Amino acid sequence: MEPANAAKSQPPTTTCANIKPMNELSHQAADGRPANVVNQEEITWTEASQGKFRYRRKSFTAAAGMERLGASLYEIEPGASAFPRHYHCANEEAIYVLTGEGLLSIGTSEVAVRAGDFAAIPRGSGHAHRLRNCSDEPLRYLCFSTMIEPDIAVYPDSNKVGFFDGSAPGGPKERRRLTGIFRQGAEVGYFDGEDDA
């Protein structure tokens, strides 16, 4: 039994005063904010369009200086999809719907999604996916992904395979050392084209 006057040891207390300010953890942007804190208004939309595959995108990844986590804001107009149905062999993705409604094909399922829905998309053939805007309003969502490279993306509906080395899909294209998309049946023999074979 402890004496009544014995001092009890207390665990150390963490307060906001003990936490290092963010500006001491990273360099600052011109406006005094840490460079890894960005507002989507500061990022320019990029656009892509090919038939029913149309989107606008703001990439937080490069703007905030991330390398291992991809994060982008997408906007898809009614009747469109951002990408064909595909799956990754190395990277996982996740989608969080901000506004609008869509239809998410994932594996053998199709599920209606709307604002507030979060979908985890693991790697592998059982999780081939495509998000379509089936409404009359724009569909806005955040897309997150790991940024593992090299990666292989497979497009089962068109029998294509893509490979990405030097920069994962969604990463800076100028850092890619080797990349390409090919039909899956275009295989050649190991020694094909070798003069000494």
Report pLDDT digits (tens) over 7-21: 555 555 555 555 444
Which residues of the chain carry a pLDDT beneath 50? 19-25
Cβ(81)–Cβ(52) below 8 Å: yes
pLDDT at 14: 52
Find the angle CA(142)-CA(146)-CA(148) to the nearest 5 degrees. 145
Residue 150 preceded by cis peptide, ω within 30: yes
Closest CA to 57 of 35, 82, 32, 86: 82
Stated as kind and residue range, the H or E segment containing 99 is: strand 93-99
Extract the tokens encoding 114: 């709307």
pLDDT at 126: 97
pLDDT at 24: 46
Closest CA to 137 of 120, 116, 117, 115: 115
Phi, psi dihedral angles at 127 (to 5 degrees): -125, 30
Topology annotation, domain 37-151: Jelly Rolls (2.60.120)
What is the DSSP pairing of strand 109-114 with strand 118-121? unpaired
